[in-house]
Amino acid sequence: MTFKKDLQSDFKKLISFRESAGYAVTTYKSSLPPFIDFCGERYPDTASITKEIIDEWIGFHPYNTINSQAVFISMLRQYTKFINALGKKAYIPDDDYNLQRERYIPYTFSDEEFERLFDTIDSMKPRVHKFRRDIIIPVLFRMMYCCGMRPSEPLHLRTDDVDLNTGDIYIRQTKRNKDRHIIISEDMRHLCIKYDVLVGQRQWFFQRWDGMPFDTGWMTKHFHICWDNSGLIKHGNPRPYDLRHAFATRNLIRWMDEGKDVMALMAYLSIYMGHSELDSTFYYIHLLPDRLLKSAGIDWHQFDGLYGEVPENED
């Protein structure tokens, strides 16, 4: 068995182990296979992962952000620990590889930015011979914003997970492997019905031309294409994930404008968004405009010191 095949076999065992234990595997599947391919191509006759291989990979594959590299090191550390647990040798990245992650500040969309962005999304041109991205993308990004989903959640929806009669969506294998149900608005349900008729029979609700679900890299690429085509000027780094943040903050603003008890509604918002801890939901109060920070709808004695941070892709 070659070095690459050996690594691939161990990786499959790791994924199988984590799935059987109820742990998420999505990040492992996106982070580690390129590294395994690199090991096989550059070091076909090597017996194990070494420190030198890891160092060369990091130099060969520079990451866009400190957070991205930190995620890779975390995944690699678990993978190499697993290989050692199998009775084999692999260098486990030590503390010298630890990176201080940057705190991510969600992008705040103005009303004008939302209008121009979705106008551009709705104007996406189809691509011949592959798939109707002009049909998929408007529904996909509206579902993320209107339902406060994480980027991976709509992409992993099967057609059976979306009840077009009731508007119930079953989100499975979410962060920390906690499944949940959400109810979508009537406008969103009717849009999904129209979309379903147009795209026809399939396994995945948003399905690629080859019968597989789209990945988050594809989603991010098309989000930036739409942003660039809109002519909007960035005052930060807008990402698909920020549609989820916008869902939370705009619901809070609406509740305040309507004079509702925001503190009483926070638990419902937390459950809907799939937060494991309430303080992740309280974080969004910190993102509200200054004019709302003194709102009577917020119990500041309860809120003070409670909200936490939402690092990149954590919530």
Tell whether 29 and 57 lie within a shared domain: yes
Confidence check: pLDDT of 174 > 80? no
Domain span including residue 224: 111-230
Residue 125 lies in a domain: yes
Residue bearing the bigger pLDDT, 84 or 71: 84
Does residue 305 surpass a pLDDT of 50? no
Contact 285, 298 (CB under 8 A): yes
Indicate if 55 and 161 belong to the same structural domain. no
Q: Do 117 and 218 fall within a single domain?
A: yes
| pLDDT tops 90 at residue 102 | no
What are the beta bridge partners of residue 168? Answer: 163, 183
User: What's the whole-number mean pLDDT along residues 132-144?
Assistant: 94
Helical packing angle, 66-85 and 26-42, nearest 10°: 80
Q: Are residues 216 and 157 in the same domain?
A: yes
For residue 171, give the DSSP letter.
E
Of the pLDDT bands very low, low, confident and very high (cuts 50, 70, 90), residue 312 is very low
**Listed residue (250, 217, 238) closest to 146, CA to CA:** 250
Query: Domain for residue 312, yes or no?
Result: no
Q: Band the pLDDT of 101: cuts 50, 70, 90.
A: low
pLDDT of residue 311: 43
- 123 shares its domain with 193: yes
Same domain, yes or no, for 74 and 20? yes
CATH number, domain of 121, equals 1.10.443.10
- Asked, for residue 187, whether it belongs to a domain, the answer is yes
* Domain limit, last residue, from 97, 130, 162: 97
* 308 in any annotated domain: no
Do 120 and 75 have their domain in common?
A: no
> Same domain, yes or no, for 89 and 122?
no
Instruction: Report the relative pairing of strands 180-183 and 162-163 from DSSP bridges.
Output: unpaired
| Confidence category of residue 309, pLDDT binned at 50, 70, 90 | very low
- Is 314 within the bounds of a domain? no
- Say if residue 148's pLDDT is above 90: yes
> 315 or 257: whose pLDDT is higher?
257
pLDDT digit string, tens, across residues 150-173: 998 999 999 999 999 999 999 986
- % of the chain at pLDDT higher than 70: 86
Q: Does residue 172 sit within a domain?
A: yes
- Same domain, yes or no, for 167 and 220? yes
| Cα–Cα dist 167/184, whole Å | 5
Asked whether residue 102 is domain-assigned, the answer is no
Percent of the chain residues topping a pLDDT of 90: 55
Instruction: Say whether 271 sits in a helix, a strand or coil.
Output: helix
Report d(CA 192, CA 128) in Å as an integer: 23
Same domain, 195 and 277: no
* Whole-angstrom distance, CA of residue 184 vs CA of residue 202: 21
Confidence category of residue 232, pLDDT binned at 50, 70, 90: very high
pTM above 0.75, yes or no: no
Mean pLDDT score, 186-201: 95
End of a domain among 97, 127, 149? 97
Statement to judge: residues 267 and 298 lie in one domain = yes
pLDDT on residue 103: 67
pLDDT per residue over 5-26, tens digit each? 999 999 999 999 988 876 768 7
Same domain, 116 and 226: yes
302 has pLDDT over 60 = no
Distance CA 20, CA 68 (A): 26
Residue 53 forms part of a structural domain: yes
Per the CB < 8 A criterion, the answer to whether 192 and 162 are in contact is yes
Question: Based on the structure, what is the number of domains in the chain?
Answer: 3
Give the residue from 97, 119, 142 where a domain finishes: 97
